[in-house]
Amino acid sequence: MAKILLFDALREATDEEMEIDSTVLVIGEDVGHYGGSYKVTKGLHAKYGDLRILDTPIAENSFTGMAIGAAMTGLRPIVEGMNMSFLLLAFNQISNNAGMLRYTSGGNFTIPIVIRGPGGVGRQLGAEHSQRLEAYFQAIPGLKIVACSTPHNAKGLLKSAIRDNNPVIFFEHVLLYNLQDEIPDHEYLLPLDKAEVVRNGKDVTILTYSRMRHHVIQAVDVLVKEGYDPEIIDLISLKPLDMETISQSIMKTHRVVIVEECMRTAGIGAELTAQINDKAFDYLDHPIIRLSSQDIPTPYNGSLEKATVINPEQIREAVKNICAVKS
């Protein structure tokens, strides 16, 4: 086991897959000589050259469309968005092309493409650079959506995403790139459609993903000392949701708190709530509690920005409130 930073884990995954499969390439702004905005592709241009590490103009719609076309011909492109917010410029290509072509071609084409990059609320990046687009893409048929949260799952998930024959939207949080974790020395893959039970417990199921995983762990560390026993599940797969793992947990705890950085209205938590009500409603002893970001553009002001995002104290309070209600 070796300790590694999250951005290095992503780089290792990319390098390993490029080394074993000559059809894998990277496309994006500053991914080549500069090594990527967050250094995920650092050193890869020198190793693989211009034809496999392609620096592009600032034109997300164009290079995303080009990558989808490349995927149709048998290549396995990785598109890096300098910021996931910028990929709104390529929403048409992602929706009408990447998501649909396998179906509209009657299965004649597969679209093995990974679209990855930083997102989420950073530190005073402003509204346009602090968007959470996971709910935007969740509504598109034909896509898989993954949110990594640790160096360990980042590497294993990215390798699996590159090998998958479907388009995968791969979300990384801008504030997690310098997170350090131990990962195995040997090769490993992680499933794209499975949630991770981070902590077993019996009092309440806390469902979360991405950076909020760490806020939840921080809150639970205090709650355990106070006598509570929460179960933590990192969703990881945002589409499809792993309802089997989620339902099994709810059958045990009978209470659910959802913690997300996404917007409350039509966010991941809203879809998760709907699916829980469809498939596990009879096991609930209390209405689902959703802790989500406020439905406003993220302020640039540091104090206001902090106030829009869920914090560990709010998580602790929600768990105490839901556990105080007798079944």
- Compute the average pLDDT of residues 61-78: 97
Residues 234, 252 contacting (CB under 8 angstroms): no
* Residue 144 confidence (pLDDT): 98
Same domain membership, residue 206 and residue 168: no
Is the pLDDT score of 327 beyond 70?
A: no
Instruction: For residue 191, tell me if it sits in a domain.
Output: no
**How large is the C-alpha radius of gyration of the chain?**
20
Pick from 160, 183, 206: which residue ends a domain? Answer: 183
Q: What is the pLDDT of residues 99-158, one digit of tens each?
A: 999 999 999 999 999 999 999 998 898 888 898 899 999 999 999 999 999 999 999 999
Instruction: For residue 189, tell me if it sits in a domain.
Output: no
Is the pLDDT score of 221 beyond 90?
A: yes
* Angle at alpha carbon of residue 164, lines to 158 and 169, rounded to 5°: 55
Is the pLDDT score of 277 beyond 90?
A: yes
Same domain membership, residue 312 and residue 201: yes
User: What are the tokens at 119?
Assistant: 């997102």
The rounded distance, in Å, linking the Cα atoms of 47 and 44 is: 5
* Residue 219 confidence (pLDDT): 98
Pick from 183, 213, 230: which residue ends a domain? Answer: 183
Same domain membership, residue 223 and residue 152: no
Catalytic: 60? yes
Q: What percent of the chain has pLDDT over 70?
A: 99
User: What are the tokens at 196?
Assistant: 């991770």
At 163, give phi and psi (nearest 5°): -85, -15
Instruction: For residue 173, tell me if it sits in a domain.
Output: yes
- Compute the average pLDDT of residues 235-243: 98
The rounded distance, in Å, linking the Cα atoms of 96 and 320 is: 45
- Domains: count for the chain: 2
Same domain membership, residue 234 and residue 160: no
* Residue 2 confidence (pLDDT): 80
Instruction: For residue 288, tell me if it sits in a domain.
Output: yes
Q: What is the pLDDT of residues 293-312, one digit of tens each?
A: 989 999 999 999 999 999 99
Same domain membership, residue 209 and residue 148: no
Band the pLDDT of 291: cuts 50, 70, 90.
very high
Spatial neighbors of 322 by CB under 8 A, at least 6 apart, are 204, 255, 257, 286, 289
**Residue 197, phi-psi category: left (phi > 0), alpha (psi -120 to 50), beta (remainder):** beta
Spatial neighbors of 317 by CB under 8 A, at least 6 apart, are none
- The amino acid at residue 123 is R
Band the pLDDT of 249: cuts 50, 70, 90.
very high
Band the pLDDT of 326: cuts 50, 70, 90.
low
Same domain membership, residue 244 and residue 134: no
At 140, give phi and psi (nearest 5°): -90, 120
Pick from 150, 183, 216: which residue ends a domain? Answer: 183
CATH number at residue 132: 3.40.50.970
Residues 192, 162 contacting (CB under 8 angstroms): no
Is the pLDDT score of 174 beyond 80?
A: yes
Q: Domain containing 227: what range?
A: 196-324
Q: Which of 29, 45, 80, 129 is catalytic?
A: 129
Residues 249, 233 contacting (CB under 8 angstroms): yes
The residues facing 54 across adjacent strands are 27
Residues 192, 146 contacting (CB under 8 angstroms): yes
Among 225, 215, 247, 230, CA closest to 323? 230
Give the 3-state secondary structure of 281-326. Answer: HHHCCCCCEEEEECCCCCCCCHHHHHHHCCCHHHHHHHHHHHHHCC
Same domain membership, residue 207 and residue 61: no
Band the pLDDT of 210: cuts 50, 70, 90.
very high
CATH number at residue 209: 3.40.50.920
Same domain membership, residue 111 and residue 9: yes
Q: Which of 17, 60, 80, 260 is catalytic?
A: 60
Same domain membership, residue 135 and residue 30: yes
Same domain membership, residue 311 and residue 202: yes
Instruction: For residue 190, tell me if it sits in a domain.
Output: no
Q: How many CB atoms lie within 10 A of CB 108?
A: 9
Instruction: For residue 303, tell me if it sits in a domain.
Output: yes
- The amino acid at residue 90 is A
Average pLDDT of every residue of the chain:
95
The rounded distance, in Å, linking the Cα atoms of 159 and 222 is: 35
Residues 206, 235 contacting (CB under 8 angstroms): no
The rounded distance, in Å, linking the Cα atoms of 129 and 22 is: 33
Instruction: For residue 188, tell me if it sits in a domain.
Output: no
Instruction: For residue 160, tell me if it sits in a domain.
Output: yes
Same domain membership, residue 91 and residue 19: yes
The rounded distance, in Å, linking the Cα atoms of 98 and 144 is: 11
Same domain membership, residue 137 and residue 6: yes
